[in-house]
Homo-oligomer: A and B are copies of this chain.
Amino acid sequence: MNIDVDTAAADLRAAALAAREASRALARSSHAERQHALRAAARALRAHMPAILDANAIDVAGYEGTPALRDRLRLDEKRVEGMAVGLEEIADLADPLGRVQSEWVRPNGLQFQRISTPIGVIGMIYESRPNVGADAAGLCLASGNAVILRGGSDSFNSAQAIHAAIAEGLREAGLPEAAVQIAPSRDRAFVAAMLRAAGLIDLIIPRGGKGLVTRVQQESRVPVLSHADGLCHTYIHAAADPAMARTILKNAKMRRTDVCGATETLLIDAAVAPGLLPEIVADLAALGCDFRADDRARAILPDLTPAAEGDFSTEWLDKILNVAVVDGVDAAMAHIARHGSEHTEAIITEDAAVAEQFLNGTSSAVVLWNASTQFCDGGEFGFGAEIGIATGRIHARGPVGVEQLTTFRYQVRGSGQVRP
């Protein structure tokens, strides 16, 4: 065991030092060079199609998980082509580096500029979904960051084959191959080594289920961008347009129930609940949704299943909706503050003043007025691809695209100034 741990730590250290060196070259690289590498990597993914599918077939054959998880692991020509197109779309994004975020001149003549720069070395930890590795490599490369990829061990062969194609793109663009690295073995000790690599890795991004993310959050010595829960609320205010409320609820809960932006809890004002709640419940029940209701909701619809202790803090990711009747926007915001996960919340109302109260009084990363919570997505935000969703308070929040994969530096230009 100690041998594994020591080997993993040594492997990680070697990978991280090479990544650091590569990150310096990336920081000096031009947008055109990074675009070239991304497009060459896309071409290489297509050219390596047979090798990638063969490698994936080995992973799938050896896989013993559920059919749903096997489907996430399985690649076909369409999915590999999708990865290639994804890299090309990332290449088309505006350069997030070298942007002047602010500039000013001091009375002593010193000229200050705050410039966007890469973060450095990112560690990406994800489950057995091969496409996540390609997307992450593309987004890190586009933002000038080196990345160390550690995908689920069940996708080891697929990940190696995809990495080979991306490395070919880097070579073709004259950028260091070490800019995108991959765990050299399935050894889980490599993940532990990544989480201990403060100073070697600048940022860890876990992408996967709550178990993976929570473990990373608890064990990491390196800063982490992540979200463990997406316990999203939709609040129907007394002044909501009933038709809009019904349309949005159907989408927010049922468009996809397995995404982190899906609404898990409906909060509805007592003033409109008697008339509107039965309609919404009927809409969603017709789509196969089940409910967990508080006493006030069951006073209106006695057949609804009573909400048990903890239901309002449960992210179902399923066809289940928590329902609570509240008295106004303050009560709704208080419920969200108590049970929410700082992810995404929506208010539905025609009252602009109340909407502003909600938009400004709710601390979640994304707050919507008269729209579906399922809009919490990098593509829907216009970011192009996203590497994940962040619910922390530091550095990045909401969908994380290339812009939030940067940091900044102050450049100060003088003419011999010394400090008094």
Contact = CB atoms under 8 A, between A and B. Distances in A.
A247 B416 contact: yes
Given A394-B394, A397-B407, A411-B359, A419 B372 contact: yes
A178 interface: no
B375 A202 contact: no
A249 to B, nearest CB: 9
A368 B361 CA distance: 41
A394 B363 contact: no
A217 interface: yes
A78 interface: no
A195 to B, nearest CB: 12
A413 interface: yes
A415 interface: yes
Interface string A345-386: 000000000010001110111111111101101001110000
Interface string A272-285: 00000000000000
Contacts of A112: 381-382
Given A120-B393, A394-B119, A363 B409 contact: yes
A337 B23 CA distance: 12
Given A223-B392, A398-B410, A375 B117 contact: no
Contact of A414 (B370, B395, B412): B370
Interface residues of A, number: 66
B419 A374 contact: yes
A404 to B, nearest CB: 10
Contact of A117 (B363, B395, B412): B363
Interface string A26-41: 0110000000000000
A301 B99 CA distance: 44
Contact of A395 (B106, B250, B255, B394): B394
A366 B248 CA distance: 47
A417 interface: yes
Contacts of A218: 198, 221
A186 interface: no
Q: Chain A interface mostly helix, strand, loop or mixed?
A: mixed
Contacts of A370: 413-417
Interface string A82-111: 000000000000000010000010100010
A365 B409 contact: yes
Contact of A371 (B223, B394, B398, B416): B416
A24 B337 CA distance: 9
A339 to B, nearest CB: 14
A409 B410 CA distance: 24
A203 interface: yes
A375 to B, nearest CB: 6
A71 interface: no
Nearest to A113: B359
A221 B370 CA distance: 37
B251 A367 contact: no
A365 B411 CA distance: 9
A241 interface: yes
A27 to B, nearest CB: 7
A408 interface: yes
A271 interface: no
12 contacts: A27-B361, A27-B363, A106-B382, A117-B363, A223-B393, A247-B416, A251-B419, A255-B418, A366-B410, A369-B414, A371-B414, A372-B418
Q: Which 7 pairs between the two chains have the least Cβ-Cβ distance?
A: A371-B414, A251-B418, A395-B395, A244-B416, A202-B393, A374-B419, A368-B412
Interface of A: 24, 27-28, 98, 104, 106, 110, 112, 117, 119-120, 198, 202-203, 217-218, 221, 223, 241, 244, 247-248, 250-252, 255, 337, 355, 359-361, 363-372, 374-375, 377, 380-382, 392-395, 397-398, 407-419
